[in-house]
Structures are given as structure tokens and as C-alpha cells.
Amino acid sequence: MNVLKKCNLCPRNCLVDRYKNLGYCKQSNKIRIAKAALTYFEEPCISNSKGSGTIFFSGCNLGCIFCQNKDISKENFGKIISIKRLSEIMLELQDKGAININLVTPTPHVIGISKAIKLAKKNGLVIPIIYNTSSYETVDTLKLLDGLIDVYLPDLKYYDDKYAIKYSKAPNYFKVATLAIKEMYKQVGKPVFDKDGNILKGVIVRHLMLPTLKEDTKKVLNYLYNTYQDNIYISIMNQYTVIKPLKYKELNHKVNDKDYDEVIDYAISLGIQNAYCQLDNTSSKDFIPDFDLEGVEKNNY
């Protein structure tokens, strides 16, 4: 059965015919992307000095009120391309020296992405594929990617469901996300790196700390370490940036430095060793990409 005819790719379970209508993610049956370029501000093992071959997909099945990529996630900026063109873009990024292909917000486009990866590999793609996701995923959809993805880069945004509902309109987020991460780990296992420190396989879970949610962050870290120990990497991020004033006043400022330091100390006290943390001055609009269709256009059909 063609899943896009009655779409249940994500936990929203819209069941819309995406050949005729748009689902929660605002996507049709076509692939839409906004940018394909080398990026250098990911974790060191992902971007290193050569850059990560990052493809930004339009649409999102979450709904974070504080989204930094709202131009593509909510306003659907981007250009429709074919599966063949997506496979070509992957190869072009490899030719530019990318150390991996980094698929950002790929969930609505999983069907086309899986076909494009197979075609690209057939035509010479050899660098690792990274699946960069909010983790609001179904296990069944992730199983469609088994054997195609080398590195999973999931978020674990919240522990307490009240925050997931309030800030991301995502009921049962923690339950859904942790089941998804479990499937990701099952597929790719413990992290593997090359001689230059670039990740080849494994799971890196990102957690973006939000203002005033220090205790929720601690619960996230506690869960991850108790569940996976150092068999995954954890990226503890303080780069929350206010794009525009929000109706929730507690989100209208950056993360408190003392709170972030306390969280890092807490991670150390748990025994976490495989982790990334961020320095000061990461809360900046300078780290938000310009979505300008770079790398997208070239004989799309």
C-alpha cells in the first residue's frame, strides 16, 4: 500500500491522501527542500573542518512555538524536486568534500528520501547518512530506513508531557521519542568513528535546554544515561535563541548561564562521559541558516 495515500508516517496520524491534500506537516507527495550546503556548526564529529553535507527539508510534523527554522518548518519555504534530483544533490555534496549527508527534518519525506538514498548509493555515494530529527517518529516509519541510515541525530526535547503539549503541541512526546530512539539504537548500535574523529555510525541525542526548564533537562539526562550509559553520545545545547517575542514570557530570554553550568555539573555527577556541551555566545541568530535554495536547482525534472 502507498502510505502517502493515507499518511501515517508520523504520530500525528493524519491519514490524509497527500496526493490530493496536505497533512499536518504541510507537505504533499512531493519532496520539497530549502537548501543543500556544507555546514560547519554541528557537533565536531559531524561537521569537523570539512563540513556536513546538510539538506534542509521543508515542513515539520512537530510544532515548536520557538522554532528557529520557521521559514521552512511553518511557512513551507522550499522548492519541489524529484527523487532523482535529491540523489544528485547528495552526490554533489559528496563531491564538495562533505564528510556525511545530513538530512534535516526528514520525517515527512521518508518515502522519497529512502528511494533517493538507494539511487545515490548505486551511483557512488559512500559517505555516512545522518537522520536529523525531532524524534516525533513512529517505529514503523523508522523501520523503513533500516540499513539506509548510518547515524541517527534525534532530539529528546522534553521529559514532562506538559511542556511538550504547551510548547510543541506534541502529546505523549517523551513516550513516542524514547521508543523512536530505542529503534534507532537497535539499528545502528554503539558509535564508531574514523581516524579523524568523524562519526561513521551510532546515535547522538540532542537536548536543547530551554529557559526555566533546568529540572526537566536533568530528567532527560538521567533517563538517557540510565538507559544507554555511554553507548550513545549526548549533546547538551544552550543555543536557544529568541527569534521573536512569544506569548510565553518564560521563553523570551536565553538560557541562564548558571543554570546551564549546573546542568553540566549534573551530567558529570551522573557519570556521563560521552557528551558535547557548548561554550558561551551560542545564542545568536548568526547560527540560523539563510534558506535561499542554495544547492537545490539544477534540472529538477
Under 8 Å CB-to-CB from 215, ≥6 apart: which residues? none
Under 8 Å CB-to-CB from 225, ≥6 apart: which residues? 234, 267, 270, 271, 272
Portion of the chain with pLDDT greater than 90, in percent: 88
CA distance linking residue 12 with residue 27, whole number of Å: 13
Which pLDDT belongs to residue 301?
A: 35
Helix axis angle, 214-228 to 173-188, nearest 10°: 30
Which pLDDT belongs to residue 69?
A: 86
Tell me which residues of the chain have a pLDDT lower than 50.
299-301
In contact, 58 and 72? CB cutoff 8 Å: yes
State which fold the 3-287 domain adopts. TIM Barrel (3.20.20)
Which pLDDT belongs to residue 299?
A: 47
State how beta strands 79-81 and 31-39 pair.
Answer: antiparallel
Partner residues linked to 154 by β-bridges: 133
In contact, 205 and 233? CB cutoff 8 Å: yes
Length of the chain: 301
Which pLDDT belongs to residue 300?
A: 38
Which pLDDT belongs to residue 284?
A: 54
CA distance linking residue 147 with residue 188, whole number of Å: 8
Which of 158, 273, 272 is closest to 206 using CA atoms?
A: 158
- Average pLDDT over the chain reads 94
Which pLDDT belongs to residue 279?
A: 78
In contact, 186 and 239? CB cutoff 8 Å: no
